[in-house]
Amino acid sequence: MLCIAVCYMVLPKTPCTHPHPPTTHTHPPPHPQIAEFSAAVQERHEGMQKLYKDLLELHQMMLDFSVLVYEQGKMIDSIADQVSSTAEYIRRGTDQLLRAKAHKKTANKFKSAAMMTVGGVAAAGAALIGLTVAGLAAPLAV
SS3 track for the chain: CHHHHHHHHHCCCCCCCCCCCCCCCCCCCCCHHHHHHHHHHHHHHHHHHHHHHHHHHHHHHHHHHHHHHHHHHHHHHHHHHHHHHHHHHHHHHHHHHHHHHHHHHHHHHHHHHHHHHHHHHHHHHHHHHHHHHHHHHHHHHC
Q: Is residue 83 part of a domain?
A: yes
What is the reported pLDDT for 45? 95
Q: Is residue 48 part of a domain?
A: yes
Q: Is residue 17 part of a domain?
A: no
Q: Is residue 49 part of a domain?
A: yes
Interatomic CA distance for residues 106 and 109, integer angstroms: 5
State phi, psi for 30 to the nearest 5 degrees: -65, 150
Highest mean pLDDT of the ranges 10-19, 46-55, 86-95, 98-107: 46-55
Percent of the chain with pLDDT over 90: 31
Average pLDDT, the chain: 76
Contact 63, 34 (CB under 8 A): no
| Residue 127 domain boundaries | 32-136
Q: Is residue 73 part of a domain?
A: yes
pLDDT grade, residue 104 (50/70/90)? Answer: confident
Q: Output the pTM of the full model.
A: 0.38
What is the reported pLDDT for 131? 54
Q: Is residue 86 part of a domain?
A: yes
What is the reported pLDDT for 51? 96
Determine the average pLDDT of the residues in 4-30: 55
Contact 29, 5 (CB under 8 A): no
Interatomic CA distance for residues 74 and 69, integer angstroms: 9
Whether the pLDDT of residue 135 is over 60: the answer is: no
Q: Is residue 126 part of a domain?
A: yes
Of the listed ranges 28-42, 49-63, 68-82, 110-124, the least confidently predicted one is: 110-124
Highest mean pLDDT of the ranges 8-12, 29-33, 85-89, 100-104: 85-89
Contact 1, 30 (CB under 8 A): no
- The count of domains in the chain is 1
Q: Is residue 114 part of a domain?
A: yes
Higher-pLDDT residue of 2 and 120 is 120
Interatomic CA distance for residues 110 and 104, integer angstroms: 10
